[in-house]
Amino acid sequence: MSWQSDPRSTEELIELALKSENDNNLVAILHFRGNQEVFQAASKLCNSHNPQERQLGADILGQLGIPHRAFLNESLTILLRLIECEQNTDVLNSIGIAFGHLHDVRTIAPLIRLKSHPSPSVRYGVVFGLLGYEDELAISTLIELSSDQDEEVGNWATFGLGSQIETDTTAIRKALYQRFVNENTDENYEISGEALVGLAKRKDSRILTRLIEELLSDYVGVLAVEAAEEFADSRLYPALMQLQQWWTKDNDLLESAINNCQEET
């Protein structure tokens, strides 16, 4: 049965979703259904005194009508009003994620006001909501949160700075380089890898030697090869050709990196 043809009523789906907090399929059905009835039900949930119901309402409104979207402005108006008075951390997290899907500049200011919230889940929502904006305040907030003590928050903020925007400033490079150097451990490989990709995208020569060393090491992650693909420097070519002899994680990515780094003749 497809999501679009599910015979259950909107009311039934909402009741089941409230009983099964981690069943994203139920919310997805409501997203795809995306009609006036679902919008009205989600709006009502956002006005509930029950935080679990408000959270579900935000989850529904964030992607209502996908893939074509529906009630965008109306959903945004409801969530902007809700974030101004909301105190529950789970609801705030869902609002931040919904804002990320809605992607409207009007969400930037209310999200930034939550950047120092004591809850990591709320700060994660802030980061997710700010992804993809070439906005100075959004970028400065991601820079700040890239060094967050919570690993998931720091990882997504670093990803946002490194890969999700085109802006190239000294402040962005400094933040990415700090993450590359300070988080370059087995435990935090993903953060340093995201920083490496971001620096490679900006052709930062400071990473070249370290990138070659990593490509020649016994363990090479996907993000290192992605960084080589972005850097597109012929000095990486020998290391990539050696890597080709044994690396099997993503052959298409490796081939693209080799092509990008191959010296023109």
pLDDT tens-place string over residues 127-164: 999 999 999 999 999 999 999 999 999 999 999 999 99
The answer to whether the CB of 210 falls within 8 A of the CB of 192 is no
- Give mean pLDDT, residues 221-232: 96
Q: What is the pLDDT of residue 265?
A: 37
- Give mean pLDDT, residues 38-50: 97
- Give mean pLDDT, residues 99-107: 97
Give residue for tokens 């109306």.
74
Which of 1.25.10.10, 3.40.50.1000, 2.60.120.620, 1.10.645.10 would CATH assign to domain 1-130? 1.25.10.10
Q: How far apart are CA 92 and CA 112, in angstroms?
A: 12
Higher model confidence: residue 189 or residue 199?
Answer: 199
- Give mean pLDDT, residues 185-202: 88
Q: What is the pLDDT of residue 229?
A: 97
**Residues 6+ away with beta carbon under 8 Å from 206:** 177, 199
Q: Binning pLDDT at 50, 70 and 90, where does residue 52 land?
A: very high
**Residues 6+ away with beta carbon under 8 Å from 238:** none
pLDDT digits (tens, 9 = 90+) for 237-264: 999 999 999 999 999 999 999 999 997 5
- Give mean pLDDT, residues 187-204: 92
Q: Is 101 exposed, middle or buried (0-12, 13-18, 19+ CB in 10 A)?
A: middle
Give residue for tokens 């850097």.
231
Domain boundaries, the chain: 1-130, 140-202, 206-265
- Give mean pLDDT, residues 188-198: 91
Q: Letter for the amino acid at 130?
A: L
Q: What is the pLDDT of residue 1?
A: 47
pLDDT at 216 over 60: yes
Q: How far apart are CA 178 and CA 249, in angstroms?
A: 27
Q: Nearest CA to 17 among 31, 37, 2?
A: 31
Which of these ranges, 1-5, 97-101, 230-234, has the smallest mean pLDDT?
1-5
Please provide the average confidence, as pLDDT, over all residues in the chain: 94
Q: How far apart are CA 48 and CA 44, in angstroms?
A: 7
